[in-house]
Structure 1
Amino acid sequence: MTAVIICALLAMCIAFAIAAIVGARRSAALESLATEHGFSYIGDDSRYAKRFSGRPFRTWGGKVHDLVSGQYRGRDFAVFDYHYTTSSGSGDNSTKHHHHFTVWAIELACSVPRLEVGSEGIFGGKVAEFFGAERIRSGDATFDNRFKVSADDAKFAHAVLSPDLVAHMNANVGQLTWRFDGDVMISFEKGRFTADSGMVNRLDVMCDILDTIGDETWPSRRHSR
């Protein structure tokens, strides 16, 4: 029995050591990528874990790792690995599950009402309507069947969903979820943030969407006229 326990402990130590080495290499690759683009590699930053709400963020227990920040196409941004754990079972049968998401956050010029645009999946928007879900429609059948839109302010949502933005997303945007949350635009995907996560590519997609939205749509710009 003692030998079994020793072997188990040794296996755990080896697993932790390997995980630490892999993690260090992943972080080093991200730091190198950040430097290559003129960005800053911050690493862990607990402030970002508490700043945002909604998917994939939790009210407690979330942690931010490998944070990269800087300015891209004239906008301040941060990209990071958001991690939290859950457990299933109980007692000796309890199992810990690790959840990782790569999060992109771009600062907006002003605070706006919540607006979320996400992919409808393989069955399209007609399924949501069948089950009675309330939707905001753009008036474009292709867009409305590909994307689901929810918002706190329908008038603002319709202003954002201009013909130009709808046409752009139909032609250029695939399975992407993004939202406005106060003064930030957020997009995320499941999985660890690595040097192969397409950091700059996703920033380009998000900036393209922002560039398509007319100046008159943003609240502070309307009020300044």
Structure 2
Amino acid sequence: MPAVIIIAVIALIVAGAVLGHLAAKKRREAMLALAARLGLRFDPGKSRDVARRFEFLDKLRQGSNRYAFNVLSGRYQDHDITVFDYHYETHSTDSKGRRQTHHHYFSFFILHLEASFPELKIGPEGFFSKIAQAFGYDDIDFESHEFSRKFCVRSNDKKFAYDVCNARMIEYLLAHPDLTIEIERDSLAISFGRRLKPEQIEPNLQRLVQVRSLLPEYLFARS
């Protein structure tokens, strides 16, 4: 009986590996087709260079063994963009002292800005942001109580935060409550806590460009 169980477990592991390989292959093919349609470059390989180039963004500084893959890059609607799947690892120890590795994957979208800006983070209000506030890391409040209740906004430059979170931006974000935005240096980024399906990439590229269009042009004129 134990031998049968061992064989069954091995068969399940092999089947899982095969299915995972086929799913990854299908995803690469779909993203390659998307890149061809949008006139973008596509590199399916692991890229630690991309991870290092943008590591000033908080979302890309987590964990270890960080790398981007399935990288789309080029010009989209007159903007330089980079889109990629992202991986990092964290570790924990179970009750028996055994070290466990946890793999995390998500999708990341970056648009190159024509000027450099201070760090600004905008994301849905949640449990961890409330904990941060409890330890003195307050977010920035706005006249829109609904926006302040639903989103956490943090920046050392409050004037910049108010400029970015203008009335039109607030209206847009309230209509798109899943967006997490980070601005720093010459990068505008949106990210998702999971890998998006290939068919979800172009709609979110459009949202990235829309967020850029809501940034006041005077910010670029004075930078």
- Give the alignment's TM-score, normalised by structure 1: 0.81
Match of 1:58 in 2: 62
Letter in 1 for 2:193: K
Instruction: Calculate the aligned-residue CA RMSD, in Å.
Output: 2.9
1:195 maps to 2:198 = yes
1:101 maps to 2:106 = yes
Letter in 2 for 1:86: T
Deviations 1:170-211 (CA, angstroms, capped at 9, x unpaired)? 3x3222110102111111112224313x11211222221221
Partner residue of 1:46 out of 48, 51, 70: 48
Deviations 1:56-91 (CA, angstroms, capped at 9, x unpaired)? 532631121111112222111111110122333368
Q: Could you tell me the percent identity over the aligned residues?
A: 24
Please give the secondary structure, in 1, of the residue aligned with 2:141: coil
Q: Matches of 1:130 and 1:7 in 2, distance apart? A: 49
Match of 1:222 in 2: 222
1:149 maps to 2:153 = yes
- Give the alignment's TM-score, normalised by structure 2: 0.82
Match of 1:205 in 2: 207
1:27 maps to 2:56 = no
Letter in 1 for 2:159: K
1:186 maps to 2:189 = yes
Q: Matches of 2:218 and 2:204 in 1, distance apart? A: 25
The answer on whether the counterparts of 1:30 and 1:194 sit within 8 Å (CA) in structure 2 is no
Q: How many residues align?
A: 217
Distance 1:48 1:142, change over 3 A: same
1:168 maps to 2:168 = no
The answer on whether the counterparts of 1:50 and 1:59 sit within 8 Å (CA) in structure 2 is no
Q: Which runs of 5+ in 2 are unaligned?
A: none
Partner residue of 1:113 out of 118, 128, 150: 118
Please give the secondary structure, in 2, of the residue aligned with 1:23: helix
Match of 2:74 in 1: 70
Q: Which runs of 5+ in 1 are unaligned?
A: none
How far apart are 1:4 and its partner, in Å?
7.0
The answer on whether the counterparts of 1:173 and 1:205 sit within 8 Å (CA) in structure 2 is no
Q: Matches of 2:98 and 2:162 in 1, distance apart? A: 50
Q: Matches of 2:116 and 2:138 in 1, distance apart? A: 24
Q: Matches of 2:213 and 2:163 in 1, distance apart? A: 14
Q: Matches of 2:132 and 2:88 in 1, distance apart? A: 29
Q: Matches of 2:172 and 2:194 in 1, distance apart? A: 27
Q: Matches of 2:97 and 2:146 in 1, distance apart? A: 51
